[in-house]
């Protein structure tokens, strides 16, 4: 299992979730993706994306710049 960092700071909705979707499509099942965002809508969009696409939202936290999400790719 590996972990990939995706820095999406400065991008506005819907770009963070679209880029996260593209990055997840390249990962094998079980790999993790760390997503950094500044878009306030990502707090809603990223968890919804995980739920709709069978991925796991391992962690979500507010940071000094916005949010940090840890996702695990589903099967």
Q: CB under 8 Å to 43, separation ≥6 — which residues? A: 60, 67
Told to judge if 50 belongs to the known catalytic residues of this protein, a careful annotator would answer: no
Catalytic member of 6, 11, 13, 23: 13
Largest CA distance in the chain: 33
Q: Please report, for the chain, how many H helices and E strands are present, in that order.
A: 2, 4
Known catalytic residues are: 13
């Amino acid at each position: 299992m590996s972990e990939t960092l995706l820095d999406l700071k400065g991008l506005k909705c819907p770009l963070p979730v679209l880029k996260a979707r593209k990055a997840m499509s390249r990962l094998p099942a079980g790999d993790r993706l760390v997503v950094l965002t500044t878009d306030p809508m990502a707090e809603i969009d990223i968890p919804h994306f995980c739920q709709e696409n069978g991925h796991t939202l391992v962690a979500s936290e507010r940071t000094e710049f916005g949010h940090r999400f840890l996702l695990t790719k589903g099967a």
